[in-house]
Amino acid sequence: MANQTVFKPWMPDWAVKGVLIFCMLHSMVLLGLYTSNTTYSASFLDVEVEDLQYAMSLTYGTFLATILIESRLFKYFPTRNYFMAIYFLAAVSFIISAYTHDYVLFIILRMVEGVLMALPWIPLRLLLLSRFKSKNAIIIVFSLTYGTLLIASPFIMNIVVWLLENYDWKYMAYGSAFFQLICVALVLITFNGHRFHKKTPLYQVDWASYVLVHTAIICGAFVLIYGEKKYWFQSSQITLATAITAVSSGLFLVRQLLVKRPCFDLKVFHYANLRTGLVLFVLFYISRASLNICHTTMSKVWNWEPVRVANIQYLNALGDLIGIFIAAILLSKAVATRYIFILGFSLMAVYHLWFTFLFVPDVSLADIVLPYILQGVAVGILFVPLVLFTVSSVPAYLAPFSGTVGVTGRFWGSTIGFCVMQNAQVFLEQKHYSKFRETIIPERPEIQEQISRYTQKFQGKGFSLDEASTLAMQQITAGLKKQGVLLSNMEIFTAIGFGLIVLVVLLIFNRHLRQTFDIFKNRIWGS
């Protein structure tokens, strides 16, 4: 490995590190661009919000499948050419998407972008790791890379919202393509023509396993995202997708057991630490998915402008930054990871239970600012320790596969989180709306008073009596729906909050979990 020769000798070390971190944002742009403003993106493509979520899941799922074979491609091509080709192709994909109104073509582009997102991610992290020589290099690099991605999200969203407010969809894609071309220029300036690894021929790449696992991911995500909308197994599409997921997953697992050089070594699951890390990742992402409920409430219930919702997310990013800094200090001080997880999940529980009391018809920013920042702090404290715990839970020769397990936990956790929140919201909102409708009896004095007040208001705006009466009933119905949404949100956040409290209690008192985290502490930091 010639890790000092892939960079031009005249480039200062700080500049190399800055370029590597900047180029890592390429993955955040590819993943989050179209989901930063789902309403506008959905209207442009004439699709539902679920379709945009599925497109994001396809991108992330393709990323997950591609990292299984990524190292073979990186070792085959010269480092500079490898990165330049990826960023150039990403720019081309954005330009094409600017003129794409067809959802099928959009989906294909999103899968291509998933491949382009996966190919540079691990190599860039390896290169960045090679630039740090301190004993805490892993903590520093992981905190920088994942911290940058967490904090970059609100910046990308604000840029997207600004472009959409002042220009249109095409300029959003143009801006993203321009970012990729900047990465091309930076790679050209920073890298020489040497290799980071010795060249490995492109043969015996396990394409069959790639196709099988990709198929399972695509169909599994389809079931989770569209299940509620298509009434689950009443739909032949959901039934077929479930069957394909089961068959392709089974064939993938059997193939890994039979082939001489599996692209994913199932031995990683022999280690209890890894299984624990996978479960914690899934639970973490499910609880984190509730933040979307907050943003939806801001837009649809509190009627905040998109620009305001985008700007508020800087506060959450501030919390991320604080949490990452706290986690880095605790890790460098060799604090047992169990205590870090207890702290992070406790703060996440406090955020959920606190926000339960804030789902009212109207709130000010001052009311939500502290719990909103607290959510970011909890995410920042948990993210990097979870990654390190999962990656470090197996022997060195299995480390690449444990990293894949971590990505698997993040992907399925976010997808399951969307599914859980979607189904819970639909079920609870319908239940509460039905109950509220039963209370609307025209003969009741308070209902008559409301109808009369709204009718007079609309008549004062120039509507006829019949039109004003119709609008008055619509106003009352809209108010009932809003109350149903708020009550549903309260119940969801309460359930998640108490679920997290149960998890914290298990982390504190469960003997097996205590031993698991003590093992991690001893193995990694030697204390």
305-359 per-position pLDDT tens digit = 877 887 888 898 899 999 999 998 888 888 888 889 999 999 999 999 999 998 8
Pair of tokens at residue 190:
């920073």
Three-state SS at 92? helix
Pair of tokens at residue 120:
């540079």
Q: Give tens-digit pLDDT for 391-412.
A: 877 777 777 788 888 888 888 8
Q: What is the mean pLDDT of residues 79-83?
A: 87
pLDDT score, position 44: 60
Q: 43 vs 117, which has greater pLDDT?
A: 117
Cβ-contact 415, 396 below 8 angstroms: no
DSSP designation for 335: -
Instruction: In whole angstroms, give the CA distance from residue 299 to residue 310.
Output: 10
pLDDT beyond 50 at 219: yes
Give the global pTM. 0.83
Q: How far apart are the first and last CA of the chain?
A: 31
Q: 300 vs 353, which has greater pLDDT?
A: 353
> Which value, to the nearest 10 degrees, does the dihedral of the CA atoms of residues 143, 314, 288, 110 take?
-80
Q: 373 vs 11, which has greater pLDDT?
A: 373
Closest CA to 484 of 412, 429, 526, 527: 429
Q: What is the mean pLDDT of residues 173-195?
A: 87
DSSP designation for 134: S
Closest CA to 407 of 386, 382, 433: 386
Cβ-contact 11, 112 below 8 angstroms: no
Instruction: In whole angstroms, give the CA distance from residue 227 to residue 50.
Output: 10
Q: 441 vs 220, which has greater pLDDT?
A: 220
pLDDT beyond 70 at 3: no
pLDDT score, position 152: 73
Closest CA to 80 of 192, 4, 226: 192
pLDDT score, position 2: 44
Phi, psi torsion values for 191, nearest 5 degrees: -95, 150
HEC profile of 176-233: HHHHHHHHHHHHHHHECCCCCCCCCCCCCCCHHHHHHHHHHHHHHHHHHHHCCCCCHH
Closest CA to 476 of 502, 501, 448: 448
Q: Top-level CATH class of 1-203?
A: mainly alpha
> Which value, to the nearest 10 degrees, does the dihedral of the CA atoms of residues 208, 214, 216, 222 take?
-150
Element housing 297 (H / E): helix 291-300
pLDDT beyond 70 at 179: yes
pLDDT beyond 60 at 100: yes
Listed in sequence order, the residues at least 6 apart from 178 whose beta carbon sits closer than 8 Å to its beta carbon are 91
Q: What is the mean pLDDT of residues 185-207?
A: 82
Three-state SS at 7? strand
Instruction: In whole angstroms, give the CA distance from residue 132 to residue 143.
Output: 13
pLDDT beyond 70 at 507: yes
Instruction: In whole angstroms, give the CA distance from residue 186 to residue 116.
Output: 17
User: pLDDT class for 454, splitting at 50, 70, 90?
Assistant: low
Q: Give tens-digit pLDDT for 126-176.
A: 888 888 777 777 777 778 777 777 777 777 777 776 776 777 677 777 888
Which stretches within 304-393 are classed as H helix?
306-332, 337-356, 365-391
Most confident of 39-48, 234-243, 289-298, 415-424: 234-243
Cβ-contact 378, 348 below 8 angstroms: yes
Mean pLDDT (the chain) is 82
Q: Give tens-digit pLDDT for 228-245.
A: 888 888 889 999 999 999
CATH topology of domain 265-527: Growth Hormone; Chain: A; (1.20.1250)
User: pLDDT class for 518, splitting at 50, 70, 90?
Assistant: low
pLDDT beyond 50 at 525: no
The residue type found at 24 is: M
pLDDT beyond 60 at 215: yes
User: pLDDT class for 524, splitting at 50, 70, 90?
Assistant: very low
Give one DSSP letter per residue of 465-479, joined into a string. HHHHHHHHHHHHHHH
